[in-house]
Every structure is written in C-alpha cells, then in structure tokens.
Structure 1
C-alpha cells in the first residue's frame, strides 16, 4: 500500500518522535501563520485530524500565545534551498515542505499554494486519508488514535506547474461546482491560472467593424462584417490588431501582479482571412485551406505581441490553442520564449481511446498528434496539453475505460517537457471517479505506478468488494 510504504520510509530515521495524538487525545495545537488563502486547508487539517484521532485539536492564530510543541502551518515557516533559485516563481510557490523541528511539525511550502498542498500531502501521503471524489462516500478517514512521527523531511515538487480538470458541461446545480473546486484543492490540482481560452473575439469585438474594417477577415477582396454572425478570425497581420492585443495583455498584467498569462487563442471557428498579406503567412501547401495550416499565422502574430509585452513583463506569458486549424506546426519561425502553445488532443488528431504512442495502424489520429507534439517541441519552449480525458463528448461508461491510458499519456507529456495539463471534464463520479483521481495524482507526481495507485484505490475505496469491482 502507498501509505504503508511511506510510513515505512519515514520510520527509517530513529530519532525523537513528534507526538500529535495518543489514546484518542490531541496533544498539540494547530497554529496557522495567518496567511491569506490557507484558511480552508487549515480548517480541513483540524477537521480531519479530529475525526481520525478522536481528539480535538485546538486551532490558534499567529498572535495566540503558546509554548511547546505544535503543528505550524503556513508559508512563513518555509526553509529555502539553493535549488529554489533555479525555479520560476510559478513553481516555487507550489513546493511542499513537511518537516519536524525541535519537537514540532511544520507543514509549509514555497508560497500559499505550496502550504495548502502541503496540508493535503500530509493528510494523504503521511496519514492515509484519501480524497477519491467529493462527499463523505469519496473520502477515506483512517482511524489514528495514536499519531506520531519520527524525523520528517518531506519535500515535494509537482511534476507540472499547471494541473487542472474543469467541468465543461452546463450543470444547473452550482453546489456541484463548489464541491468540484474543493475536491480539486484536496487533490493538489492548481498552479497559476493559465489563460488560454478562445479570446480573439474579445480582443477585436465585432462592434469595431464600422470604424476598423481592416481588423476583420477579407474574402474575395471584401472585409467581412463580423456582426452578422458568420465564422471569422481577425486579420492578424493588421498592425492595429497586434497593438490592441498587446495593450490588453499589458493592462491585464498591470491589474494583477500574480497573473501568469493572457490568451491570444483563436475564435472557436474557421473564417481565416484570405487577404494577400494573410495568405503569405501560410505554408504554401495550406494557402486557401481553412481547416489546416494556420499555426504559422498564430506564431507570427503571438511573437509580435510578445515583443511588446515581454520587455515590461519578462515572467508573464501569452498563450494560444494549437487546435484544429492551428494544430500542425510549421518548421519556422521559432516561438517567442514568452509564448506558450496549448496543444489540443482533438479533432483529426484526437483519439482518447488509445494511448498517444499507439502505432499509426491502430490510431492514425494519435500518430498525427505525436507528429504535432514533436514539431512544436522543435520550435517552442514550454508547452501545455489541452486534453479531454473525461470530457462529456462520449458515453461516460466508455470514458471509464481509459484509465490505463492515463498512465501512459500523462508521463508522455512530462517526458516531452510540457509544463501543464488542462482537461475538460464531466461531473460524473459514478463512472469517472477513478479517472479523475488517477489523473489528479499523476499530474502531481508522474512517477506514481499503476500497480500502487490502483491497488490502493480499489482496496481502500471498495474494501471486500475490491477484486470484483476492479474486474468490472
């Protein structure tokens, strides 16, 4: 079992124990450093430790007087390492650190996010809690009337900077969304909010047509009036479009110092301009084709915007979907270091029912997707995966069968240098709870093995019914 293996490893260092509970009695308080953003995690820590031990842990703030051992929580207790200097602030803020020092337990991280994730790393990896899905049924609370640890020096760095599954179906019950967000936090999903959604229609709203028809696509020498509802993309070669995108990105970065990125993603349609200037940006074999070969336009456009934003904001990024007509990368130009393509496993290159590495005779779509990944890897720096692991575009019972594929595809992204995974999801816990759980664990740590993770899931969640449920 994962829990047993972790405890065995921790017990190797035989030093003075840190006692948290004995015979159902809490022995130490929980002391929060008061950092904004850790409140829900600290409340969970108390609630779950109370439930597991049978005791009641006092919850104190930074100004409350206390002498003696305690459980200290929050980023102010983080002890930096030399290697931290090599990490981006987006990753550093998520590093988990759990240590025993001077008879106390410190649950901390490189930032607020890291401290929140440290709470759940402690509960899951060191105490044996499980957060399989929202609600009491999906939460495993172990019985721990006696809880103590020998020396702890746990440090976790997530495999991906960005890890998010999000419900794409319209659910009328907002409570389900709140439960989803809570489960995501407990599953250590998160990271900086990467902006990559369809956005060109906001950068160039159709209402600008009367004043700036040159911002809109040209067909047969005529500029399209986008107010009519036709499919369209802006004229990306127009200097005014580039300037508008740069101005909006700069304004967004100025308004939020913690904003990671600004989206330049295409509208969710075709309608690419056929002006001479636009066609000149396409590879020759794709000129005049609407549904393929438009990635070069996006790169040239995004690079031009990045030249205007990166000087002021060197650690902020512009993102766009490599999706449908922009999926297949050209051989040049190189992508600006501050531009991140999000490669969509969709359409002619989308096959969720076979691994990405499946041979071409088994999955022609995934063979095309592999070539796209390799091509983007040659011309771009960081990449993000845009996935549909549990998205509501197929029968959830069919999607339930892709669990083994996750153990291949998520490490595949990691091995190719992807810094994030973004997947549409379906709030269907009956059929898809296992996929959601496995994806969350692998995005945090791609070294999780199928044997360990699945053995733990079925034995802990189903108990005596583990074997028949696993076969099912």
Structure 2
C-alpha cells in the first residue's frame, strides 16, 4: 500500500510539473523593471501567438527563469541572467552564455540592435531599446511563418503554430537607420491609416533616427504671421523687384541675407526644440502639406527646408551669397550653427532638391542633415554622383525617393518606380554601398500595382543582404496558395511592361 501511495505521489508530482511547464511555455516575461512600451510589445506578441497556437498567452512582469519567452532591454540584462540562474536545469546550459554574449554583440549596434535566441523550451529577445525589442518580436514571428505582405489584414499570413519553440539565433540591426514609405495624399480613412501603420510596424519600417526635413518655410511663416505681415522685406525679391507677398505661404521664398529674418528663423527653431524637450514629442513637418505630426522618438531634428518649387531672392545682398543652393544652405547653416551652440545634439534637416540639389560652395555645420532627391534633379550629376559630393560636405546623407507619384504613373502596373523590383533592389543596394543612412520614399495607396515592390523594399531596408528572388517566391506562394502559378506569370508580365 505504501508503494502504491508513493507511486501515486510521484505521478501527481510529475503531472503538476508538466502542467507547470506547459503554463510557463505560454508565458511572456518582461522583467520587474520593464517600461510600459515593453508591456505593449509583449501584449501585441501575445495576441499574434494566440492566433497561431490557439492558446492564451500570459504576460508576467516578473523575473524570467529561462522557460517560455523573455523580453529584455540590454540595460536590464543582469536581472535577466539572475532569474535564469535560479532555475537549476538551466544553470549549466549554454543559454546563459549566449545571453551574456549578447551584451557584447549589442554593444556594437545602435538603438535598434536586437539579439534573439531560440531553444526547445524558450525564446529570449534582447534589444538596445523598446523599439529594438518590438523589431525582435516580428523577426521571431516571421521565423514561425507569420507574414504581412500588404496593409489590409487579408494579406496577413497567420500560420498554425504547433510548437512556438524552435532552435535559432539572430543578431543584427537595420541596414538603414531610417526607413519610410509613405502616402503622398493620405487615405482619408482611419482604418486604412491604422492598417498601414501596423504593416510598417510588422515589416520594421520607421527607425530610431527620426528624420525631419520636409518643406518648412511655410510653417515658419504661419507660426510667426504677425512678424512677417509687418516685415514684407523678409520675403524674397523677384526679378521684377517685387517682394513675394502674394503667393501662398507654401510657395514663398525668403530674403536670406536679411539678418532679422535669420534671427527670426533661429528663434523659431529654438522655440520648437524647447517645446520638444518640454513635451517629449517631436514636431515633424509633413513633407508635402506643411502640416505637423508628432513623433515620440529621441532624435531631435528641426527642418529648415525651403518651400517647394524653384526660386530664390534677387536682392543685391542675397545675390552676393549666390544662387538657390547657396541661399537655401546659407540660412540652414546659420540656424544649424546657432542650434549646435545651444543644443549640441540637435540636428537640422534639409533636402538636396530641384534648384538646390547641388552642395553650396562653402562649408556646412556638422549637425546639418541632407536628403538627396532622386527626381527633380536640375544638375548635370547623377544621384550617385550627388551622394558623393554631398558626403564631402555633411556626415549624414539620406535619400528622398519617389516610389510613386500619381501624376506620373496613374497607379498603372509597372509604371511606378516602386513597382519595378529591379529598380528597387538595384537602387537600395547602391544607396547602401554609398553610405546613405535613410530612405524616405513617397508613394500612393495602390498596393495591387506596387505592393510587391513596397514589400521587398521594406525587407531590404531592414536587411540589404536578403535575396529578393526568395522574398518574391515566398510572397507568391504564401499570398495566393494554389493560384500561385498564374499570379507569378502576371507579376512577371508586369515587370516587362
């Protein structure tokens, strides 16, 4: 009888242990010091895993013991390791060694650097920031077979996940520190906007380096309307000897040699920086409309980009500065230098675009950021040559790309740049090799014609070493199932048109 009860006790203990392990295997640990951002990331991961496994996942704001999924910022790594050591079964495993090694690996990366390690009973995701951890969760989901090809949820692939624990290891950071594909004319739909934001998130667009270099002079006028109304001499003098006061704000040029105008632009920029530092939110000039959006990332960049279109001031003192490039970058340089003295880490952003696509003849402050436009090139240089010339002037150079402009392509198959996969792949590789650190691509909502190009572009912006043919094959097979054959022919035909 004693043997029977002893055997029964062992059986109950084994069952309880098995149940405990199963529960742990469906837990996501975020540590005791985790920020709200990481809790949000864990919640999102739990939702996706529940869709794939059919089981509920629980988030624990507790020390991770090495079973289940652990999310951790690098700065909290000691707590991560201490929790694993408490689990005797793992104290001698290679998991601790891998995690300790992650500290050295991540030390070489920027804010978006992430390390992942998968075993038969665990997954750990360690990032240099909450954003990096979010990226890591999507890297993990992709390894399980999840996909999000186009923004609408119908283009998501949610696999049946029988076992979420697989052996793998990943360490890296994005190939470009800022990655953006955006709608020039919006969607006029909150649902479409939300779907697009989630698509960007899943495919790891965005970035820790927040770019702000859209057309900004119109915003300066609006914020200081009374002063501009009182001082028409702040506006450019035309060839006819008339000040530009009869145009819309978004078309007016400045008289950049006017010292009071320069002072006003500096004061306006200082005010924006102080507001950002107070509110913790960056005001980003919308590239086309001049409206503002808010970004919570830590990079502070103030745009000093001219209003759209060609033109400059013909007043005598302005002509002494030079043509359009000299005038635009004279003002941008003055503002950048003033901000650098007061806020050493703040940057000033501009385009190299249209009439001011060439670098000026004079030097520029180190905190000036420039995005070279791939269209509206009024110079005799190619985009590659312009990048070379600009890198002689400034440290940080990005690309202002055009994956689609409705007036150019009318959303027809193969017509938008963003639909031509050969162009997307070739250009991104050239930009990466040239040392470009950001891609800012204008496009439109037409996902049928250009969606595959956008998807491949997003993947290469994250990892330029990926094989576009494999990405395309994965898309065709997973998006269309048994219809993959004719759909592959259709996409091939579109590339030849």
In the superposition, the TM-score normalised over structure 2's length comes to 0.76
For 1:248, which of 248, 268, 272 is the aligned residue? 268
Looking at secondary structure, tell me which structure has more helix per residue: 2
Change (3 A) 1:42 1:85: closer
Of structures 1 and 2, the larger Rg is shown by 2
- Cα deviations across residues 153-190 of structure 1 (Å, max 9, x unaligned)? 42121111111111111422221111111111111011
**Offset of 1:312 from its aligned partner?**
3.1
**Alignment correspondent of 1:261:** 301
Are positions 1:296 and 2:326 aligned together? yes
For 1:346, which of 369, 372, 375 is the aligned residue? 375
* More off after superposition, 270-279 vs 30-39: 30-39
Change (3 A) 1:431 1:366: farther
**Alignment correspondent of 1:44:** 44
Are positions 1:468 and 2:486 aligned together? yes
For 1:380, which of 394, 401, 421 is the aligned residue? 394
Change (3 A) 1:411 1:314: farther
**Offset of 1:443 from its aligned partner?**
0.7
Q: Which has the higher contact order (CA 8 A, sep 6+)?
A: 1
Matches within 5 A, 1:151-190: 152-190=168-206
For 2:455, which of 423, 437, 440 is the aligned residue? 437
Change (3 A) 1:171 1:136: closer
**Offset of 1:325 from its aligned partner?**
1.1
Change (3 A) 1:468 1:334: farther
Change (3 A) 1:161 1:98: same
- Cα deviations across residues 309-363 of structure 1 (Å, max 9, x unaligned)? 1133222210111111111234x223321001111122246xxxxxxxxxxxxxx
**Offset of 1:101 from its aligned partner?**
8.9
**Offset of 1:207 from its aligned partner?**
4.2
Unaligned runs of 5+ residues in structure 2 are: 1-18, 78-99, 278-297, 491-497
In the superposition, the TM-score normalised over structure 1's length comes to 0.80
For 2:346, which of 293, 316, 325 is the aligned residue? 316
For 1:194, which of 211, 217, 222 is the aligned residue? 211
Q: What secondary structure sits across from 2:331 in the alignment?
A: helix
**Alignment correspondent of 1:16:** none
Are positions 1:417 and 2:457 aligned together? no
Matched-pair contact (CA < 8 Å) for 2:237–2:244: no
For 1:28, which of 26, 29, 53 is the aligned residue? 26
Matched-pair contact (CA < 8 Å) for 1:160–1:414: yes
| Cα root mean square deviation, aligned | 3.1
Unaligned runs of 5+ residues in structure 1 are: 1-20, 283-292, 350-364
**Alignment correspondent of 2:259:** 239
Q: What secondary structure sits across from 1:218 in the alignment?
A: coil
For 1:389, which of 403, 416, 420 is the aligned residue? 403
For 1:208, which of 206, 227, 230 is the aligned residue? 227
**Alignment correspondent of 2:158:** 141
**Offset of 1:137 from its aligned partner?**
2.1
Instruction: Report the Cα distance in structure 1 between the residues aligned to 2:420 and 2:477, rounded to whole angstroms.
Output: 20
Change (3 A) 1:395 1:39: farther
Matches within 5 A, 1:127-138: 127-138=144-155
- Cα deviations across residues 27-58 of structure 1 (Å, max 9, x unaligned)? 23012344233454323311221222232222
Q: What secondary structure sits across from 1:106 in the alignment?
A: strand
Change (3 A) 1:253 1:99: farther
Matches within 5 A, 1:363-374: 368-374=382-388
Instruction: Report the Cα distance in structure 1 between the residues aligned to 2:369 and 2:475, rounded to whole angstroms.
Output: 35
Change (3 A) 1:244 1:82: farther
